Amino acid sequence: VPQSPRREMLVGFGLRAGQQLGTSAYDYVIPAQGKAVVKTDIQIAVPHGFYGRVAPRSGLAAKHFIDVGAGVIDEDYRGNVGVVLFNFGKEDFEVKKGDRIAQLICERICYPELEELKSLDETERGAGGFGSTGKN
């Protein structure tokens, strides 16, 4: 997707419902407290050593309670990029052809050598999680 010089500085590429790169477009209604897989009709080839992360748009989250789930595109995936949208709002949410629904961020991935251990070293934190390190 060609980008203007100003757009090259942005991290995420916009994903639209039925973007011009695709061959068809769809309208969706995401029910209140529900979800939908929104097809973009876009296929991509993620470079070796990277993965595509489908990330939410801040405006949709802040204004309409719309979030993105299951947002990983592996480098060997060649199918239609679908975006799982969750509607946490109290009203149905309409997605129209051409609406910006998510952003695609290409991130480098590291595959470290993993070693199976019988036990782990003790740390001060231990197994504490989900707010165990403080209130803020």
Report pLDDT digits (tens) over 49-70: 999 998 898 999 999 999 999 8
Q: CA distances (Å), 89 to each of 17, 43, 64, 85, in order?
A: 20, 30, 6, 12
State pLDDT tens for residues 67-104: 999 889 999 999 998 889 999 999 999 999 888 888 88
Confidence at residue 125, expressed as pLDDT on a 0 to 100 scale: 87
Determine the CATH number of domain 23-108. 2.70.40.10
pLDDT at position 99 is 87
**Cα gap 3→82, rounded to integer Å:** 22
CB atoms within 10 A of CB 30: 20
Q: Which has the closest alpha carbon to 95: 53, 43, 55, 57?
A: 57
87 or 9, which is more confident? 87
Q: What is the mean pLDDT of the chain?
A: 83
